[in-house]
Amino acid sequence: MAKPSQKSRLCPDPIPHPEDTVIPALGKAKIDSPLRHGRFISDDSRVLLDVHTTSCDTRGDNTSSMEEAGPREKIYFDPSKTKCAVVTAGGLCPGINDVIRSIVLEAFHNYGVSAVMGIRYGLEGFIPKYGHEIMELNPMAVSRIHQFGGTILGSSRGPQSIDGIVDALERLNINILFMIGGDGTMRAAEKIQQEIAGRDLRIGIIGIPKTIDNDIQYVSTTFGFDTAVGKACEAIDCAHTEANGAPNGIGLVKVMGRESGFIAAQASMALKDVNFVLVPEDPFELDGETGLLKALERRIRRRGHAVIVTAEGAGQDLLKSTGQTDASGNPVLGDIASLLIGSIKDHFKKAGIDMTLKYIDPSYIIRSVPANTNDRIYCGFLGQNAVHAGMAGKTAMMVSRWNSQYVNVPLQLITRGGRKRIDTCSNYWRSVLESTGQLSYFQGDGVV
Ligand SMILES: Nc1ncnc2c1ncn2[C@@H]1O[C@H](COP(=O)(O)OP(=O)(O)O)[C@@H](O)[C@H]1O
Ligand SMILES: O=P(O)(O)OC[C@H]1O[C@](O)(COP(=O)(O)O)[C@@H](O)[C@@H]1O
Ligand SMILES: [Mg+2]
């Protein structure tokens, strides 16, 4: 299978010096942090980008490491006068409410900020013409929100005036804006910060990466991904049961993953029942001796059942482009599942093999459920570290977990680099292929 696909880039450009993450309009931090537990993190403390090493390793500079996240001994904002705001934008993801809750609890209980405002329905909430009311967030208001999926603030896609957003921040006297969103939200965050710098305002912009597709660079795994994979596994398990329940049964499952197939790959790794995993990063052919249909026929002839998992963005080159984009400019994809269903049925009919195909699309279920325990813990850390960064006067950065450490990533790194995709030359992808065994079916030497 597979025309060779591009190898993903890890760290193409130098990371700006840590001072770059401080709000330009602020001077030196002077206020003693109110926190009294654990250790304070120095702005010099760095986390290596790549934990692999060689005997001639000379790293430790700011091009191969990231600033460590966490509480600073000196903070910029006087908590009793500090007003924060939280906004959620883009598609849903398990755990958004846990992040909101963590921000609110940290800001109130550990720093004693004066207010946290919830901006409703994404960037629209800043723009008066939409008429969305501001929601007041406090520990009482968020006490049970982690029990629910989605976002209590609501979300939206589509561009809004950056001027209008900064006008709203000024009008509301916001000092720190927490933006929970994906790559699109981080691009908006960077533009908002640039407008803030242009107006010489003392407002910090802190991003928290949210995407079910796990496609943001410099985040090992995004929150909610683990939950979504778990939910996808339930659907795949059912597809396997259906496939086993009929002679020559084929189970087909489509999961989210617009341009990055991490959910499909990870769920396939979790359940070794998957025989073919199709992702946008690894193009495949349908027809011919090395195509998917022939490979599937080989699998059915040998084993009498098969499970296929496809990311929604897989095989787009086999489909007519819709030529459409959503409100945020994301491509509207062609339906790979319809193409697969039609082609598989035709192929087996022509081959004279009776088969049964059952298709399961868990669709939005995998991203709108509440977060699992692991994701909840992760969301808690992200929210707390976002508040630490905001109170320390940081801006134009995103909190992240990298190599099991929490780090502050400059937004430029996210917005300049492309999205995170599966590296089809990596050991990870090799492990996925080993787990499905699909290469042997594609190559026609299918071992059982
Ligand atoms: N280049 C950009 N400049 C300004 N705003 C943007 C940009 N890209 C996306 N946005 C806005 O950010 C918000 C979230 O983006 P979207 O792509 O829908 O979700 P996500 O942040 O999850 O990727 C939307 O309101 C969108 O219009
Ligand atoms: O139908 P919607 O809500 O616009 O979103 C669908 C898309 O959103 C995603 O969940 C990704 O969303 P984000 O861009 O917000 O991360 C994709 O997997 C999916 O294709
Ligand atoms: Mg996105």
Q: For residues 233 and 267, is the Cβ–Cβ distance under 8 A?
A: yes
Q: What are 253's strand-pairing partners?
A: 309, 360
pLDDT (0 to 100) of residue 11: 46
Judge if the beta carbon of residue 295 lies within 6 A of ligand 1.
no
Count Cβ atoms below 10 Å from residue 198 Cβ, excluding itself. 9
Closest ligand (CA of 184)? 1
Give the pLDDT band of residue 52 (cuts 50, 70, 90): confident
pLDDT (0 to 100) of residue 384: 98
Q: Report the relative pairing of strands 46-48 and 83-88 from DSSP bridges.
A: unpaired
Q: What is the pTM of this model?
A: 0.92
pLDDT (0 to 100) of residue 8: 47
pLDDT digits (tens, 9 = 90+) for 283-299: 999 999 999 999 999 99
Q: Which of 123, 124, 185, 325 to mutate to test the pocket of ligand 1 (most atoms within 8 A of CB)?
A: 185
Separation of alpha carbons 182 and 399, rounded Å: 12
Residue 102 has pLDDT above 90, yes or no: yes
CA of 332 to the centre of ligand 2 (A): 10
Give ligand 2 pocket residues (Cβ under 6 A): 90-91, 182, 211-213, 256-258, 312, 326, 330, 367
Structure tokens at 426: 């990596």
229-368+425-443 shares the fold of 18-53+64-222+371-416: yes
pLDDT (0 to 100) of residue 48: 83
pLDDT digits (tens, 9 = 90+) for 319-356: 999 999 999 999 999 999 999 999 999 999 999 999 99
Give the pLDDT band of residue 9 (cuts 50, 70, 90): very low
Judge if the beta carbon of residue 181 lies within 6 A of ligand 1.
yes
Task: For the chain, give the mean pLDDT.
Answer: 93
Q: Which CATH superfamily is domain 229-368+425-443 in?
A: Phosphofructokinase domain (3.40.50.460)
CATH no., domain 18-53+64-222+371-416: 3.40.50.450
| Ligand 3 (single-atom ion) residues, CB below 5 Å | 182-184
The torsion region of residue 111 among left (phi > 0), alpha (psi -120 to 50) and beta comes to alpha
Going by C-alpha positions, the residue among 237, 242, 317 that lies closest to residue 282 is 317
Total length of the chain: 448
pLDDT (0 to 100) of residue 64: 81
Q: Who has greater pLDDT, 25 or 400?
A: 400
Give the pLDDT band of residue 47 (cuts 50, 70, 90): confident
Rounded to an integer, the average pLDDT of 101-116 is 98
Judge if the beta carbon of residue 125 lies within 6 A of ligand 1.
no
pLDDT (0 to 100) of residue 46: 83
Closest ligand (CA of 223)? 2
Separation of alpha carbons 19 and 13, rounded Å: 17
Residue nearest ligand 2's atom 7 by CA: 91
pLDDT (0 to 100) of residue 4: 43
Ligand 2: nearest atom to the Cα of 313: 20
CA of 330 to the centre of ligand 2 (A): 9
Among residues 213, 215, 237, 273, the one annotated as catalytic is 213
CA of 92 to the centre of ligand 2 (A): 7
Residue 206, H or E segment: strand 204-209
DSSP output for 277-325 = EE-TTS---SSSTTSHHHHHHHHHHHHSEEEEEEETTTTGGGS-----B
Separation of alpha carbons 206 and 189, rounded Å: 8
Residue 3 has pLDDT above 60, yes or no: no
Rounded to an integer, the average pLDDT of 428-446 is 89
Q: Report domain extents, the chain.
A: 18-53+64-222+371-416, 229-368+425-443
Backbone angles phi, psi at 385, to 5 degrees: -65, -30
Give the pLDDT band of residue 20 (cuts 50, 70, 90): low
pLDDT (0 to 100) of residue 50: 80
pLDDT (0 to 100) of residue 288: 95
pLDDT (0 to 100) of residue 147: 96
Judge if the beta carbon of residue 185 lies within 6 A of ligand 1.
yes
Separation of alpha carbons 218 and 220, rounded Å: 6
Separation of alpha carbons 355 and 340, rounded Å: 14
CA of 183 to the centre of ligand 1 (A): 7
Asked if 354 is an active-site residue, the reply is: no
Residue 87, H or E segment: strand 83-88
Q: Measured between alpha carbons, how far is residue 218 from residues 79, 207, 242, 442 in Å?
A: 30, 13, 39, 33
